[in-house]
């Protein structure tokens, strides 16, 4: 018996992802390279027949979805939004460390933004929907949220997302091994 696979797509490159600036709720557009990579996803996702296509509300995720050929069937899910970086929105980790030595996103969260637990709670709601649907789903979102989603899929704490890295326009697949009680990562950060 084949078990449903959940395909995760990180949005294409933006100016902020290129420069390492934390991009949570700001709507930064895809660069020309990001748009090209999003169009290139169409061939990489060929053969996937999802029962549902879900996207973060961000323009970068929605545009990646549309440029890859799945925009017409996409449903926007607010819970797929990127981590809310609060006061650290638009700032690089290097800049944050100048004023807050030792800071780590997954451990410390963001002032006036989200903690790992809050991001994990949103991931848990998505996972509940996925397991209820029990069908292949294609998801477009952002790096830190998808990393937390992967951790929670495996039953790890949200902070476990720090161990996964995602490049822009990457494709990853969550699934199961022997049965529905054994969630696994089938593929990660495919380029």
CATH number of the domain where residue 181 is located: 3.40.50.1240
pLDDT at site 1: 63
**Tokens encoding 149:** 């989603």
Average pLDDT, integer, range 103-125: 97
| 179, pLDDT greater than 80 | yes
**Is it the case that residue 164 has pLDDT exceeding 90?**
yes
pLDDT tens-digit series, residues 60-112: 999 999 999 999 999 999 999 999 999 999 999 999 999 999 999 999 999 99
Is residue 152 packed enough to be buried (19+ CB in 10 Å), middle (13-18) or exposed (0-12)?
Answer: buried
Q: Which residues are catalytic?
A: 11, 82
Residue 74 domain flag: yes
Give the separation between CA 154 and CA 146, rounded to whole angstroms. 12
178 assigned to some structural domain: yes
Residue 93: inside a domain: yes
**Rounded mean pLDDT, 131-155:** 97
Tell how far CA 72 is from the center of its chain: 20
Three-state secondary structure call for residue 113: coil
Dihedrals phi, psi of 45, to nearest 5 degrees: -100, 0
Q: Tally the domains of the chain.
A: 1
* Average pLDDT of the segment spanning 32-41: 98
Residue 1 lies in a domain: no
Please answer whether residues 34 and 142 qualify as being in contact, where contact means their C-beta atoms are separated by less than 8 angstroms.
no
Q: What is the mean pLDDT of residues 158-173?
A: 98
Residue 185: inside a domain, yes or no? yes
Distance CA 161, CA 183 (A): 15
This prediction has a pTM of 0.96
Residue numbers of the domain that contains 110: 6-190
* Average confidence (pLDDT) over 47-63: 97
């Amino acid at each position: 018996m084949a078990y449903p696979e959940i395909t995760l797509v990180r949005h294409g490159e933006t100016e902020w992802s290129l420069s390492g600036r934390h991009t949570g709720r700001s709507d930064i557009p895809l660069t020309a390279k990001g748009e090209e990579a999003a169009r290139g996803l169409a061939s990489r996702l060929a053969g996937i027949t999802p029962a549902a296509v879900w996207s973060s509300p961000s323009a970068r995720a929605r545009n990646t979805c549309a440029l890859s050929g799945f925009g017409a069937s996409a449903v926007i899910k607010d819970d797929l939004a990127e981590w809310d970086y609060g006061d650290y929105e638009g700032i690089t980790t290097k800049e944050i460390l100048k004023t807050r030595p030792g800071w780590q996103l997954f451990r410390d969260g963001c002032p006036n933004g989200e903690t790992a637990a809050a991001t994990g709670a949103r991931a848990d709601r998505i996972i509940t929907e996925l397991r209820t649907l029990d069908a292949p789903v294609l998801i477009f979102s952002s790096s830190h949220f998808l990393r937390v989603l992967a951790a929670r899929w495996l039953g790890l704490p949200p902070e476990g997302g720090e161990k996964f890295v995602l490049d822009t326009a990457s494709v990853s697949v969550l699934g199961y091994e022997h049965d529905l009680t054994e969630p696994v990562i089938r593929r990660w950060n495919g380029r």
